[in-house]
Structure 1
Amino acid sequence: MPTVRFRGREFDCVHGAVLRDVLLAGGESPHNGASEVANCRGLGSCGTCAVEVSGPVSDRTRRERLRLRVPPHDPDAGLRLACQTRVLGDVTVEKHDGFWGQHVSAGRDD
């Protein structure tokens, strides 16, 4: 059973579970600020659930690839949409700053 690590907490889930659903079921959110209420509810169209994921997850869906090409996202930032990402093993998830979680460099010391 995979474990999802997020904001100092751990959640077990079934193999193939949607990351957004795992976080929400655990009382956490893949959204920042107002995007908590202003989002597409898992349809992959708004991009507000973008997170950095380390560990085995599904390949990007077509919808995810298209949305992450649209600003403010950078397709090379390595972010994933939690609503389109399936957990395939133990993962660590990080949410960055910004309405869409797009400020990847803001949380890094490099």
Structure 2
Amino acid sequence: MPTVSFGDSEIDCEEGAVLRDVLLDSGVSPHNGTADTLNCRGHGTCGTCAVEIRSEAADTADPPVSAVGTVERGRLSIPPHDSGSGLRLACQTRVYADIEVTKHPGFWGHRVGEE
């Protein structure tokens, strides 16, 4: 069973669970500010659930999270996002191993390095 680390929270989840659902079901949000209310509800179109994901399993044969899909790739290539930032949409990401999730500042969580 994978564990998602998010801030002070350690959340166990089923393998293959959608990261956005894991966070929301545990009472934490992948959104900043009013994006808690103003979001696409998991369809991958708004980009407000963008997060940074790190894992010690990142270099193994079995990836810790699902691959970036077409919808996610498209949304992360539209400003204010930058396709080179390495961010993922929590609503489009399935969890397969232990991960550490960081939410960055900004309405879309796109301000990487601005803590």
Q: Same fold (TM over 0.5)?
A: yes
Rounded Cα–Cα distance in structure 1 between residues aligned with 2:13 and 2:3: 6
* CA displacement 1:28-67 (0-9 Å, x = unmatched): 0000001010000000000000000012111001100000
* CA displacement 1:69-104 (0-9 Å, x = unmatched): 000000000000000000010000000000000000
Structure 1 unaligned regions, length at least 5? none
Instruction: Tell me how far 1:5 sits from its aligned partner.
Output: 0.3
Structure 2 unaligned regions, length at least 5? 56-63
Q: Does residue 70 in structure 1 map to residue 56 in structure 2?
A: no
Cα RMSD for the two superposed structures: 0.5
Instruction: Tell me how far 1:105 sits from its aligned partner.
Output: 1.6
Q: Which amino acid aligns with 2:74?
A: L
Rounded Cα–Cα distance in structure 1 between residues aligned with 2:76 and 2:8: 26
Rounded Cα–Cα distance in structure 1 between residues aligned with 2:20 and 2:69: 15
Moved over 2 A (4+): none
